[in-house]
Chains A and B, each alone.
Chain A
Amino acid sequence: GAVVSQHPSRVICKSGTSVKIECRSLDFQATTMFWYRQFPKQSLMLMATSNEGSKATYEQGVEKDKFLINHASLTLSTLTVTSAHPEDSSFYICSARGSGGGTDTQYFGPGTRLTVL
């Protein structure tokens, strides 16, 4: 149980284009989803927290207009990197937290490696 998927696992795009990353909770309802960014050999940096049906809460320094987050259902959240630039190249990881007995634990997706040329 508690499986989170991400799609795509890897994406390469040209500078200036937008990229959408999907995060799905496969076997539970995720009331809250989190988006992280991870640079090589570093820890995870929380970008934003999204609760189903409401606007995402962004961490300080994260541009809301650049990183659009939508959490339209209890099993799906999307992160859109708009007008991507090479400095946006990174490993993006989502996590999900369910309702009920497992509210204290985040389950992580496998990550999406974004390369912007």
Chain B
Amino acid sequence: AQSVTQLGSHVSVSEGALVLLRCNYSSSVPPYLFWYVQYPNQGLQLLLKYTTGATLVKGINGFEAEFKKSETSFHLTKPSAHMSDAAEYFCAQKGWGAQKLVFGQGTRLTINP
């Protein structure tokens, strides 16, 4: 069965520091991969997605993620954290032709002033 693992349920960084949120997927074929952000008491907002083509994907709010097939990873990064980045982040995968998204357990990002 497909699964998504987010390493670290809670990540804390200082304002201005690099943000790195880890995501590994399990799939026999390259899936579609997504990062979503959820602010308190809100739904999920799409940050970025990988389907095919360029493995480095740029998203909104300065985030980017790189698809690495050899490592089955899709880690999310941002060079310089901002206080407004504090939120819950979910990595998800979808198989080609599948309807359902498989979510990771989420990573709560805290930004220290």
Q: Are A49 and B90 in contact (CB under 8 A)?
A: no
Given contacts A49-B99, A108-B36, contact A44 B90 (CB under 8 A): yes
Complex CA distance for A105 and B34, rounded to whole angstroms: 8
| Mask of A93-117 contacts with B, CB within 8 angstroms, 1/0 | 1010100000011111111010000
For chain A, the count of residues having a C-beta within 8 Å of the partner chain is: 23
- Complex contact B106–A105 (CB within 8 A): no
A97–B101 Cα distance when bound, in Å, is: 11
Partner of A93, one of B43, B46, B94, B108: B43
- Given A44-B90, A49-B100, is A108 in contact with B32 using a C-beta cutoff of 8 Å? no
Q: By the criterion CB–CB under 8 Å, are B99 and A32 in contact?
A: yes
Shortest Cβ gap from B46 to chain A (Å): 7
Give chain A residues whose Cβ lies under 8 Å from the Cβ of B43.
Answer: 4, 6, 93, 95, 108-111
Which residues of chain B in 69-106 are interfacial with respect to chain A, using CB atoms and an 8 Å cutoff? 90, 94, 99-101, 103-106
Q: Chain B 50-67 against A: per-residue CB contact (8 Å), 1 yes, 0 no?
A: 010000000000000000
Evaluate whether A43 and B44 lie within 8 angstroms (CB atoms) in the complex, with A104-B51, A105-B34 already known: no
Distance (Å) between the CB of B52 and the closest chain A CB?
10
Kindly state the separation between the CA atoms of A12 and B61 in the bound complex, as whole angstroms: 35
Per the bound structure, the CA–CA distance linking A42 and B106 in Å amounts to: 7
Min CB–CB distance A49 → chain B (angstroms): 6
A-binding residues in B (CB < 8 A): 32, 34, 36, 41-46, 49, 51, 90, 94, 99-101, 103-106, 108
Q: Nearest 3 pairs between A and B by C-beta? A: A108-B43, A108-B44, A110-B43
